Amino acid sequence: MKNQDTKNRDSLDEALSNMFLSEKYKDSTLFYAHMLSQVNIIIEDIPAPAGVSFEIDHYILYINNEKFSKYSLDERMFILIHEMLHILMGHLDIRKSLSTEPDNSSLKYKIKMVLQDKSSKFIQDLKNKVFKDLNEMYNYILEISSNSEDVLDISCESEGLEELDCSLFDNVLDSSDILYINTDQLMKNYATDCAINQLIPKIKIPDDAIVPDNFPAEGKIPVKANAEVYYDLLKKSNNANNSSIESYDTHVTWKPSSDVSEIMKDVTKKMIDQSIQETQEQRGSLPENIQDMINLFSRKSQVNWKKVLKNMVGKKKIGKRLTIMRKSRRFPKREDVKGVAKDRKFNLIVLVDVSGSMSTAEINQGLSEIHTICKQNNTSMKLIQIDTEVKAVEEFTAKTKIFKRLGRGGTIMEAGITYILENNIQCDGIVFITDGYIENVSEWKKQPKCRVMWLCTTPGVEISGIKNLQKHSQFDLKVN
């Protein structure tokens, strides 16, 4: 990648100054402006108007001046907020897949070249040249294309991957080559972008932004769903490769982060905390989704989950992972050696009462407990929203930042149990989050075979009917 003229950044500076100072935009942009003040900005010739990456202990925002300046002021601010939301949502930790199925990370990419001089030194270099991901391949193509006049044509391939005409390399290659791209990663790009683009209010959306109206999946596309929902839609329709959309965000700056994942999380948390503090000191407003994020995870856990889970599901197999956050027992004085963290994997299902009697504060209090389980055990859970029927089924993890409530009707918790049993969903235990104003549980047509924990947000209200059920227990939560 080539550095561009760092003096010519007027379009970027105009966007930043309006995000900080303009009365028209400040309520929607000030928080993100303070986030941008904490990243390193590099003006560079990347194949997109903007992109973010994480290096060692800090985030970098790359700006392609030529591409970025073509957008209007509103669109430029939208793009900058979009990149900050990628950081907020933890999308750069690309080791974690949106899918529970194994990804295609083991697949390799190869380059084929047509050379003017067959004795060129590139012949030997390319004989066994294999790339671990598209970023590495792209950087290599960029380097050899700019440094050699001997290259006549370039194409890329990888066994087992879908064929796709990709515009990502158009500024590098003279011909419209056919590239072979990891389709699973492409679907993740569409899914994450569609989810976060809907979190940016009151600013004009670029025409080439991924939104529900142009989302490349079949059927009705839900509004303001999370990335997992959009990803599943693409998996079912298998339509990502047929899309004519050329999004402004190619994610080409994202890099594997297996060695810095824990540091990245810590840096992100500090960025959020500092941005919140500085925004509030300027008497600015926090975006609604950021306020929801604070409400969701600022509460301390009230339940001793290690004890509760042991009683609910017994001892579970322990998974081990290396982490820089713990010292090695064998080499405690060596800071370069990672320690071992042990994770007990629990297969739990969470059913959330989203009926009209449940306040947002009550739901957030319950979800903060679920977040604690995910964080302590490095695990994910299936979360089901219910009022009189199942409203949504989604994955909930320690990285989940926002909960979008989808129901406000009456209350029939049995609908969740019926859904689990009819779909033969296996689990070690079930956790309900409710205010306690529900039907008599003992009168359900079918009872789950596993243990059930009721988190009740109305202290003093007893869940009707559970005294007669040995596998059911209740814990009252104080709503802060």
Domains and CATH numbers, the chain: 10-98+185-286 (no CATH), 110-181 (no CATH), 305-316+343-476 (3.40.50.410)
Q: How many percent of the chain have pLDDT more than 70?
A: 65
Of 7-21, 291-305, 389-403, 453-467, which gets the smallest average pLDDT? 291-305
- How much is the pLDDT for 84? 93
Reported as a pLDDT band with limits 50, 70 and 90, residue 36 is very high
**pLDDT tens, 70-123?**
999 999 999 999 999 998 887 876 444 433 333 333 344 444 544 444 444 544
**Tokens standing for residue 383:** 């979360």
**pLDDT of amino acid 252:** 66
Q: Is the pTM of this model over 0.75?
A: no
Query: For residue range 252-311, what is the model confidence (pLDDT) as tens digits?
Result: 677 655 456 678 878 888 888 888 888 878 877 777 767 766 666 666 789 888 888 877
Q: Which residue has the tokens 């050329």?
A: 246
Structure tokens at 217: 């999946």
Q: Report residue 446's pLDDT band, with 50, 70 and 90 as the boundaries.
A: very high
Banded pLDDT at 56 (limits 50, 70, 90): confident
**Nearest to residue 394, comparing CAs of 228, 233, 191, 234?**
228
Question: What is the layout of strands, in order, in the sheet containing 58-63?
Answer: 40-43, 58-63, 50-55
Model confidence band, residue 152 (pLDDT cutoffs 50, 70, 90): very low
pLDDT for the residue 180: 39
Q: What percent of the chain has pLDDT over 90?
A: 28
Alpha helices in 159-260, H assignment, sequence order: 183-197, 227-237
Which residue, among 428, 439, 349, has the nearest Cα to 387 in the 3D structure?
439
DSSP-assigned letter for residue 204? P
Average pLDDT, the chain: 76
User: What are the structure tokens assigned to 251, written together?
Assistant: 């994610």
Contact 60, 36 (CB under 8 A): no
Q: Which residue has the tokens 């992972």?
A: 321
Q: Cα–Cα distance between 43 and 45 in angstroms, integer?
A: 7
Q: Tell me the β-bridge partners of 392.
A: 385
* pLDDT surpasses 60 at 124: no
Predicted pLDDT of residue 443: 94
Query: Which of 149-153, 305-309, 317-321, 443-447 is predicted least confidently?
Result: 149-153
Taking only the tens place, the pLDDT of each residue in 157-200 is 544 444 433 444 444 333 333 333 456 667 778 888 998 898 88
Biggest CA-to-CA distance, the chain:
84
